[in-house]
Amino acid sequence: MDTSNAKIVPVILSGGSGTRLWPLSRAHYPKQLQPLHSKLSLLQETVSRLTDDNFTQPLIICNQEHRFIVAEHLKEIGIKPEAIILEPIGRNTAPAAAVSSIIIRKKDPDAIILLMPSDHVIKNTKAFKAAIKTALPAAIDGSFVTFGIKPTRAETGYGYIKKSGAVSDQKGCFKVDVFVEKPNLADATKFMAEGGYYWNGGIFLFSASHFIKELERLSPKIIETCNLAVAETKSDLDFHRLDKASFSACPSISIDYAVMEKSENVVVVPVDMGWSDVGSWDALWQLLDKDSNGNVISGDVILRNTKNSLVRSENTLVTAVGMENTIIVATGDAILVSNRSTTQDVNLIVDDIKSANRSEHLSHSKAYRPWGWFQTLETRDQFQLKVINLNPNSKISLQRHQHRAEHWVVVAGTATVTRGDDIIELRKDESTYIPIGMVHRLENKTDETLEIIEVQSGSYLGEDDIERFEDEYGRHK
């Protein structure tokens, strides 16, 4: 089969929260947006390996809370996506695959989709692309192709795929004997000894049209609700919002359960490509380069008599003495200490934080916005101290607060400030005061970064005390 003119549409799933990598990964800034493996975020790495002539521009599916950060990450690497689809609520991978197939088929009924997570590492891109090339004829012919990752150890954190016989007319493709849930250690060890078992990496290649037909047969409720959600999509700047009511009515189910484990037309292409889902701190330790003592070190760290550990600091000095097989991660507002063997349970700590009505699972002290970022330096009763960094030629919304006043001091750049009916310009070391109830805006009209110190004072200092009147980013209160 001639596949030389076939174009593959990458569909990148960026909706996860990565709770097992807390405290670095938070709900508002999850692991796919973090530079864990290189200077690029995992999302940027994922998109960057799919930029040659065999691929179209990617379609990104993400949480609406992450939309501006995702767009900025793509802009930083020069990628203009086919679309950024916003999920109003998480519904797992089968609905995401359905939505993308519906959208893509409208443009090209013969389109082939490469569906993959945004938060995995693939060290050997050449091997990955070779596997895609092997899988492409089968996908064009109507098969649903999954990529089986050659296992390197008896791993209990991944599902497995057991291959069966070769597909006679599709070289390099094999029938799937069975999909296996995450095994216990004894079974995982047996899989390694027997051979023929592969990790399920959650990466799939298929025809959009064939996938929709198979969903209509196996999971009609998914395709029905997703058709409605797409039909009622609202465009917002560069984003496309799925209809919340329709999408919320869709079953929450993985593509494995909805299609791959039920369809008679699934094949697996084995591949050894240096893959990791970076699903825990131990997985990250396994992935990264280590020093002579087996340690992975990042940030301001001093160690003595410490072996086979991962120690990471985002700002403050972290020291450790006499530790072994340990994970220590320090961010601006939280510290995790864990044995490497128990890092799969970090998500239980996140559950405990939620149950205690705390906020450390949601965001860092440094929070990103479409105009830049702010970092909370100090919070006490009725006052709060922040650094605000405003990107060149950006501005916050025209807004007011009902419960707090704000004092602004410029420490770098030039600020244009709206205070009620007045507009003033402030330079370095100059300041202004925004009383409670005053309509105001901070703007950076220059090509340089603007940085200010903000002191908030009042009876309530929450981020939801914002009444917006104008906002170029399409946000409301």
User: pLDDT at position 298, please?
Assistant: 95
The fold for domain 366-470 equals Jelly Rolls (2.60.120)
**Averaged pLDDT in 10-residue chunks for the chain of 477 residues:** 75 90 93 92 95 93 90 93 93 95 95 96 96 95 95 90 88 92 92 93 96 95 95 87 94 93 93 94 94 96 98 95 97 94 94 94 86 90 94 94 96 96 96 96 96 96 89 68
The residue count for the chain: 477
How far is Cα of residue 405 from the mean position of the Cα atoms in its chain?
35
User: pLDDT at position 319, please?
Assistant: 98
Cα gap 462→456, rounded to integer Å: 10
User: pLDDT at position 112, please?
Assistant: 97
Q: CB 463: neighbour CB atoms within 10 A?
A: 8
Find out whether 439 and 446 touch, Cβ atoms under 8 Å: no
Q: Is 273 helix (H, G, I), strand (E, B) or coil?
A: coil
pTM metric for this prediction: 0.88
Q: At 288, list the tokens.
A: 């990264």
| Per-residue model confidence as pLDDT tens digits over 201-253 | 999 999 999 999 999 999 999 999 999 999 999 987 779 999 999 999 999 99
Residue 93, Ramachandran bin (φ over 0: left; ψ between -120 and 50: alpha; else beta): alpha
Eight-class DSSP state of 55? B
What are the CA-CA distances from residue 200 to residues 145, 161, 435 (Å)? Answer: 12, 6, 57
The fold for domain 8-276 equals Spore Coat Polysaccharide Biosynthesis Protein SpsA; Chain A (3.90.550)
Q: Is 127 helix (H, G, I), strand (E, B) or coil?
A: helix
Cα gap 387→74, rounded to integer Å: 25
Cis ω on the peptide bond leading into residue 137 (within 30° of 0)?
Answer: no
User: pLDDT at position 64, please?
Assistant: 85
User: pLDDT at position 346, please?
Assistant: 95
Q: At 116, list the tokens.
A: 């993959």
Exposure string of 161-183, with b = 16+ CB inside 10 Å and e = fewer, is bbbeeebeebebbbbbeebbeeb
User: pLDDT at position 167, please?
Assistant: 87
Q: Where are the domains of the chain?
A: 8-276, 281-354, 366-470
Helices 220-231, 93-107: crossing angle, 10 deg rounding: 60
Cα gap 229→225, rounded to integer Å: 6
Find out whether 116 and 202 touch, Cβ atoms under 8 Å: yes
Q: At 462, list the tokens.
A: 């929450």
Q: Which residue has the tokens 């985002």?
A: 314
User: pLDDT at position 43, please?
Assistant: 96
| Per-residue model confidence as pLDDT tens digits over 151-162 | 999 988 899 999
Find out whether 180 and 162 touch, Cβ atoms under 8 Å: yes
